[in-house]
Homo-oligomer: A and B are copies of this chain.
Amino acid sequence: MSQNKPQLSCGSCVLTRICLPANLSPEETRILGGAVERGRELRAGARLIRAGARTDALYVVRGGSAKSCGLMSNGEEYVRAFHLPGEVAGLEGFACGRHTCEVVALEPMSYCRIPSGPLERMMATLPGLRRELMRLLGQSLEEAQRMRIESSTIDARGRLARFLVDLSSRLELRHLSPTHIRLSMSRRDIAHHLGLTVETVSRTLAAFRRASWVEVRARYIELLQPAALASLPVR
């Protein structure tokens, strides 16, 4: 693997302001970049992280998207999160030194890899990186806890609406259209992410369509009234 060519350094990456280095000093960014390996292209369905594998690196999506999924006690798959470019996957691996969920590409995907060794060493010397990782973990925790309660308090409409609005804002942050969305994940993935069934996702989308809040054509979704979606009653 040939990597770390100057022109690929974190500082000159289009994602700099969205990715891990977002809050790092130029110097810290340079050092971080020195430790980053550039992964090869993955095809849709390829596995980035295998559940049970030793936590030997963190991964950042560079292009495309991925899902993190785990297995429930009854064997059903559930989707913990979707990852867009600049988002970090594998953080849960810090829990016990092993990854507890599979990370799978949803479409052709590229990524960066930060091996644990250098990461640990940088954590000792780069306070900014330390803070950033703690921040990311705290934020994910925050998010998961909020969603946990909402999942059992907010109805299907509210959850799906929130999902669309959230996705939209994350796309916008990446200078993609916040209203014309091509979903890289299946209805099944969405359902398993929101704790619903495919049927309910389908029906709820249909309801949004009838209300003229969205335009749906297979995996293309256009948000016609994002405000309506964002302000759905909470039961």
Contact = CB atoms under 8 A, between A and B. Distances in A.
Interface of A: 70, 72-74, 76, 78, 80-81, 91-96, 100, 120, 123-124, 127, 130, 133-135, 137-142, 144-153, 192, 194-196, 234-235
Nearest first, the 7 closest Cβ-Cβ pairs linking A and B are: A152-B195, A94-B138, A95-B138, A144-B144, A148-B148, A137-B137, A74-B234
Contacts of A76: 153
A133 to B, nearest CB: 7
Contact of A137 (B120, B130, B141, B152): B141
Given A76-B153, A195-B152, A145 B146 contact: no
A194 B153 CA distance: 10
Count of chain copies = 2
The DSSP consensus for interface residues of chain A is helix
A135 B235 contact: no
A71 B141 CA distance: 16
Point out which of A93, A144, A194 has the most chain B C-beta atoms below 10 A from its C-beta: A144
Given A94-B135, A138-B94, A195 B78 contact: no
